[in-house]
Amino acid sequence: KAGVTQTPRYLIKTRGQQVTLSCSPISGHRSVSWYQQTPGQGLQFLFEYFSETQRNKGNFPGRFSGRQFSNSRSEMNVSTLELGDSALYLCASSLTVSVETQYFGPGTRLLVL
Amino acid sequence: QKEVEQNSGPLSVPEGAIASLNCTYSDRGSQSFFWYRQYSGKSPELIMFIYSNGDKEDGRFTAQLNKASQYVSLLIRDSQPSDSATYLCAVKSVRSGGSNYKLTFGKGTLLTVNP
């Protein structure tokens, strides 16, 4: 069974731009969570989607948004990029709303210049 | 006080020794506790999670939880060079209303196992 896939793997943007990241969960998994990882703040939870509905949200500004499609694929959007948004963005999928059984994808490394 | 604290390390142990990784948390209402391993340049992978006070063993790994002391640890027996990685502690607590949860990670401890 294929694992979680994320595209693109690397991305360079400039301040003020927006970016969309994509995540395809493991087949059959209906929950997708997004995380941001930086050296300074560590791994931080962004939000979780299940059955196309946002079920949980971390403490990030409204510039960070997401959505989930009927096939469970998810996208995350960051608008008006700031230098501090440079990070590794990780997606994780699980069968249900359960972090106990989530599997992480390889991540998208975003650099904001 | 940080919500989840870990010693950043590096923690260096010889091959075959027991590595002990520690984590403290501030929210007494926390319910689930997780240990992830993250190799350099890779994504985290779940090692194990624990709900109840006491020990939980899985192969060479043992998680220990003490809710009274707000402390969770991970022991790695017979450490191998392949165990060299950053170990992340995460704590799940349920928000008011019971429908949402909060998952907070520590910044991780870098473990080096020397051959």
**CA distance, residue B76 to nearest chain A CA (Å):** 20
Please state the three-class secondary structure of chain A as a single string: CCCCEEECCEEEECCCCCEEEEEECCCCCCEEEEEEEECCCEEEEEEEEECCEEEEECCCCCCEEEEECCCCCEEEEECCCCHHHCEEEEEEEECCCCHHHCEECCCEEEEEC
What SS3 class is residue B56?
strand
With an 8 Å Cβ cutoff, are A106 and B42 in contact?
Answer: yes
For residue B103, the model assigns a pLDDT of 86
Q: What distance lies between CA B61 and its chain's CA centroid?
A: 11
Taking the C-alpha atoms of residue B84 and residue A57, their distance in angstroms, rounded to an integer, is 32
Q: Which of the two residues, B93 and A17, has the higher pLDDT score?
A: A17
For residue B96, the model assigns a pLDDT of 63
For residue A105, the model assigns a pLDDT of 97
With an 8 Å Cβ cutoff, are A42 and B43 in contact?
Answer: no
For residue B2, the model assigns a pLDDT of 73
What SS3 class is residue B82?
helix
The answer to whether residue A108 neighbours chain B at the CB level (below 8 Å) is no
Q: What is the mean pLDDT of residues B30-52?
A: 94
For residue B97, the model assigns a pLDDT of 54
Instruction: With cut-offs at 50, 70 and 90, classify the pLDDT of residue B94.
Output: confident
List the pLDDT tens digit at each of the 113 positions of chain A. Answer: 679 999 999 999 999 999 999 999 999 999 999 999 999 899 999 999 999 999 888 889 999 999 999 999 999 999 999 999 999 999 999 988 777 889 999 999 999 99
Taking the C-alpha atoms of residue A59 and residue A96, their distance in angstroms, rounded to an integer, is 22
For residue A96, the model assigns a pLDDT of 80
Q: Which of the two residues, B27 and A16, has the higher pLDDT score?
A: A16
For residue B113, the model assigns a pLDDT of 97
pLDDT at B101 over 60: yes
**Per-residue pLDDT tens over the stretch B58-79:** 999 999 999 999 999 999 999 9
Helix (H) or strand (E) holding B21: strand B19-25
Instruction: With cut-offs at 50, 70 and 90, classify the pLDDT of residue B9.
Output: confident
The answer to whether residue B32 neighbours chain A at the CB level (below 8 Å) is yes
pLDDT at B35 over 80: yes
Give percent of chain B above pLDDT 90. Answer: 80
Residues 44-83 of A with CB under 8 A from B: 44-45, 55-58
Task: Evaluate whether A86 touches A38 at the Cβ level (below 8 Å).
Answer: yes
